[in-house]
Structures are given as C-alpha cells and as structure tokens.
Structure 1
C-alpha cells in the first residue's frame, strides 16, 4: 500500500486545507486580527455545542479542561458522583480525589456504558456535581448524555461532560440536554493539531464558580470571562492551532453537521460489520452503545501484533491502553476519515487476520 491510511484515535488526520491555513506569518494575540479569529471560532463552536453559553479557549489538552472544571466550580470536601467506564472516566475521578473532593465512584465493567439508574441512586441533595464522559475512547463506548441530562435536570448537581473524543463526531445539544459544563479539544473530531481545549459553561455553573475556594490563575474562569469580552485569552494561546480549528470548522460546515454525524455512523457500521465477518468481536458489550468515533476491537493477546502488522501495510491505528493494552486495538473514524479509508483498513485487517490465524 503506497498511501498510508491514518485512522488513529487522536491526534487525528489533518486535512491539507487545515495545514495550509497555518502557513501564515506570526501575529500577536493582542491584535484585532487575533480577536476576529477567536470570535469566529467560538461563534462557530457554539453551533456545534448547540448552546447560547460562552465558549472559552484554553491552551491545553482536554485534561487541562478537566482540571479547570474542578478548580473553578468546586471546593475541597464537595461531594461529586463519577460513573467510571474506562481509563478517562477513571482519570476524572482520580483528579477529583487529588483535589480533595468527596468522590462517589459508580464503577462499571470495561466495555459497559453507565447505567443511569445506578448512577442516580448515588445522587443526593448534597451532590455538587456529576462527571460523565461522553465517549470513552479507551473502551469504544459512549454514554447517553441526553438521558443523563433529563435525570439531572432538577437536581442541585452540576452536569459536567467530557466530550473530548465526542464533539464534532457525535451530536451534542448542551442547552437542550441541560449540560452545565462541556469541553473538547482540538486534535480529535475537530481535525486540528493538539494544543487547545474548548469549554462552554452554563449560568447554573457560574453560580458555583462564585463559591469555589480553590486557588487558580492560568485556568481562572473569571479572568477568562473578562478577556473573552475582548475575544482574547488571559495568556498566549496556540494561535496556529486556532487558525487550524478555524479552517476545520469551515470544512465541517461546508459538509453539514448532520452529514458529518451520518458519515461517522456509516463508517463505524462498516467497520463493525467487517470485523464480525472476520470472526472478531467488538469490545463494547452492547453494540447499541458502541462509539461512533472509534471502534474498540477485542483480540485477546493479539493487539500489539495486529497493530504492528497493520502499520506494515500502511494502515495506522491505535492499540489498547492500560489494562487493555494486550487485548484491544482501536480504530478511529473521527474527523477526516472516508469510506475508502474504511475499506482499505478492512482489506488490510483481513490479510493480517488470515496470517495470524
């Protein structure tokens, strides 16, 4: 195979138009030119978040947005509930614990989605927040964010959503689904280099910001809000990544968001059907909740061998992480992935499986 096929979980493939958009002379983040760029990006991101709330630009990965949420909306001793379905939801619970929050974990097996009824059993009037990962990229499973939002609507808890590997590939309706804080990052379905996170925050969450007692500066939402009035950031952002996101959003709106979501579903379904034909299994325990931005494939003890063999055939995918490193490999369909890419992957996988078996 002459041309490599990149189907990674992130960073994802960057379209040539996006690469070209970064090929400009340097300019300051305190200029009108920069402010116009940030205003356009955040305005367009509101359409993808489906919100009237402010969108902030954070110079960090998605993990930085996770930490910023804890720092700005909570205080030591606050009770929060975290359903854990894989590495990244577990990481969020761990970060809350490091800050001294009273974390009520609701654990589920790897490959399972969170059972909302079991989670809600742990939510009490004392619960200050419920942290839910939209799309668990370690296991290839998504949570039903709309249903969580309905369940949490009339509670005191902030509904916090990590949509790092979801937004842009999975539909999100922040306002309609009663989400209080949601964030993503630049290097996933937004088809840009790493370096930026984007976070939207509700009026309900702002009241919690006023009560938070944690010290902060770099990620201070109050300072971010003051600078957002000028379409600027507190500190120097990764300007070139913002240029990239601006162009990737242009591409996304040209295709149409509904078409993008449909493409992700169709590409994922092609992979699922192809994997089954080869006698392999999804890692997701319920196909209904199998992620539409990546597919985790269960190959006990063979993950690294398969990833290496696919790479030798020009198809770049990701292995499993943590406890799943030997048994799962992951194929990204998020962002700039076509049906032809999927077909090339399946052809290469068929060849690899025939030789391994």
Structure 2
C-alpha cells in the first residue's frame, strides 16, 4: 500500500508509553536520538529539525525560511507533488519557472538547467514523485547546481529511508521528509535539514513566520526540544522505526526495495498491464504506478475484495493509474501475494470482456 504505510508491530508497541512532558529530560533524550539517527539517513553532518506537520508543512516551511517574495525559482514538474510545490511557491509570491515533463518521465537535468540563470534563487526537485512512480537523479542536479547561487531544494517525503539520498555528497541545500512513508510511522512529523548555504539564506528571508521559524527551531534543537508541543507519540514511533532500519541496514533496505520492485515490474508486465514509467531506469523503488486507462477504480475495488490495498491515481491520472507501494515494512512475500491476486483480477477482467 502507499502512505501512510503499514506500521510494524514493534513501532506500534513503542507508542504504548506513558505520557511525558515535551520539556522533560526523557523527551530530550528521544529527540536527540531521533535527530542523530536521521542525520545518518539523510547522509549529512547538518542538524535535522523536527516539525509537527505533514511533509507539506515542511515544504512550505522551506519556502518561508529560505526565500523571499519575488525570488525566482525553477521547478521541474513530473507529477502532482512537484506541481504542488510550484503552486505553493506562487502563493508566497515567488516567480516560478516550470519545466514540464510528460508524466511517467524523469526530469532531464540539462533541459532544467537551461532555465537556471544568475537570478535563480532555487531549484525545487521532488526526489521520488509518488503520483507517477518516478524518481529524479538528485546527484546530477547537485553537480549541475554546485557552483551556482541557487539552492537545491529536495522533497524526499516518499524517498528518504527507501531510496538512497546523500545530502552532503550530492550538494543538497534543503532536504525534507515526513514520518509516514519509508520511515514506517504514523503521520504527524516532518524533518528538515539545511546546508550552510541554505542557512545563509535563512538570515535574509523577509517572510514573517513563527511556528515554522527555522532560526527559533534551531535554538530549541540545541537543547533537543521544539518550539511548541510536538507529536510526542509519533516521535516514539520514529525512534523505534529507526532502530529497525539500522538493524536491517540502510543498504540492505535499498537492495530489498530494488529487488521487490524488480519482481513487481516483471509480474505486472506478465499480466499484460503497462507501467506509467517511460524509462524503467527511473521507476521508483518505493512505489509503482500501473497504467490502466479508464479502469483504475475497477482494479482498486477488485484487489480490495481480495484484501490487497493499493492507492488510486492522482489528478489528472485518477481514472488511469493505480499505485502499489513497496516502501517500509514490505517483504518479498507481500509482492508475491499482490501479483497472485492481480493476475486473478486481470484474468476475470479478460473473461468479462470476451
């Protein structure tokens, strides 16, 4: 299924905890452990800020803290969430230059860079576009933008923890994620890391803010706390989920996701169905979009009757795509069960059409 993803029993049990004050030493210890471990997942030396919000809140917070009205940004649009980021920036008065790509294709870095000028303040890239099942080559974007004035802003909400990201090595300036995807925890928390280049932009941002003020958040982070009351029980969950992630090993998780997705893609094609991805090289290892023009609701309904839950398509692909998540707590056996039931659904559909 797709986010919120399935939550392991261990993670659920970790939330069965007495209530504690978010100003207590016990809370601070959990906060410090979570942010320290998240730095390993982000692959960064930069501090990780904790926000009580969805991933969308983190997206907005980066705009509020690193930019000002009138700033020019470039957004490669490959799906709903990259378009959402462009719309959000426009609401705050940023001058957005969209670079449009056919849904199902990854963003071509060379084409995007043609729109980047000396006036460009940022390039907003979705790491893993979960509306289309495609990921972008963030490392290539980092190389292209390294010696420019523009910040590389990366939305890795459905990527981090399931798809490799190397913030420092890839020259990412702002990276964000949330708790309910590959971190296999309940929704409610978002996490943001900024490079020193991005922090320098924070100092000159003219947007008013309080709840999402990174300068205030940074001060509270020094004592392993947050400005306001955080989603404490979600933090307990993320703490346990991170323990599970490191027990398995990040590299092993990346390999498991790739292997699961490879088997998934092979099985889908064996049924005669098509992928939305135009180039399987960039097919997401955490989520697969299956292209079934006009029949997505049929597949979602029939799979649900077989206790297999998949996600619907997102506009403008609502009727034409269903999405299969492999992020988080998903095993080879889960993929096998899905493919078995999918074959049965396709068989019945073919019989009804004949």
Shift of 1:319: 1.0
Unaligned runs of 5+ in 2: none
Shift of 1:321: 1.0
Shift of 1:29: 0.3
Shift of 1:43: 0.3
Which residue of 1 is the match for residue 123 of structure 2? 130
Identify the match of residue 233 of structure 1 among 203, 226, 233.
Answer: 226
Shift of 1:123: 0.5
The SS at the match of 2:203 is: helix
Give the whole-Å Cα distance in 1 for the aligned partners of 2:2 and 2:190.
17
Q: Can you list the C-alpha shifts for 1:201-232, whole angstroms capped at 9, x where unaligned?
A: 01000110001000000000000001001000
Identify the match of residue 277 of structure 2 among 284, 289, 300.
Answer: 284
TM-score normalised by structure 2 residue count: 0.98
Identify the match of residue 339 of structure 1 among 327, 332, 337.
Answer: 332
RMSD: 0.4
Give the whole-Å Cα distance in 2 for the aligned partners of 1:317 and 1:55.
32
1:138-149 aligned within 5 A? 138-149=131-142
Q: Can you list the C-alpha shifts for 1:130-154, whole angstroms capped at 9, x where unaligned?
A: 0000000000000000010000000
Identify the match of residue 48 of structure 2 among 51, 55, 71.
Answer: 55
Shift of 1:53: 0.2
Q: Can you list the C-alpha shifts for 1:17-68, whole angstroms capped at 9, x where unaligned?
A: 0000000110010000000000000000000000000100000000000000
Identify the match of residue 112 of structure 1 among 94, 105, 108.
Answer: 105
Q: Is the aligned partner of 1:183 residue 2:176?
A: yes
Q: Can you list the C-alpha shifts for 1:69-92, whole angstroms capped at 9, x where unaligned?
A: 000011110000000000000000
Identify the match of residue 293 of structure 1 among 286, 289, 312.
Answer: 286
Moved over 4 A (4+): none
Identify the match of residue 246 of structure 1 among 226, 239, 242.
Answer: 239
Identify the match of residue 145 of structure 2 among 120, 128, 152.
Answer: 152
Which residue of 2 is the match for residue 42 of structure 1? 35
The SS at the match of 1:105 is: strand
Q: Can you list the C-alpha shifts for 1:234-257, whole angstroms capped at 9, x where unaligned?
A: 010000000000000000100011
Give the whole-Å Cα distance in 2 for the aligned partners of 1:236 and 1:212.
25
Which residue of 2 is the match for residue 198 of structure 1? 191
Give the whole-Å Cα distance in 1 for the aligned partners of 2:105 and 2:71.
27
Give the whole-Å Cα distance in 2 for the aligned partners of 1:256 and 1:98.
40
Which residue of 1 is the match for residue 321 of structure 2? 328
Q: Is the aligned partner of 1:76 residue 2:85?
A: no
Give the whole-Å Cα distance in 1 for the aligned partners of 2:285 and 2:71.
34
Identify the match of residue 14 of structure 1 among 7, 28, 32.
Answer: 7
Give the whole-Å Cα distance in 2 for the aligned partners of 1:163 and 1:180.
13
The SS at the match of 2:244 is: helix
Give the whole-Å Cα distance in 2 for the aligned partners of 1:165 and 1:346.
22
Give the whole-Å Cα distance in 2 for the aligned partners of 1:221 and 1:248.
25
Give the whole-Å Cα distance in 2 for the aligned partners of 1:264 and 1:79.
36
The SS at the match of 2:316 is: helix
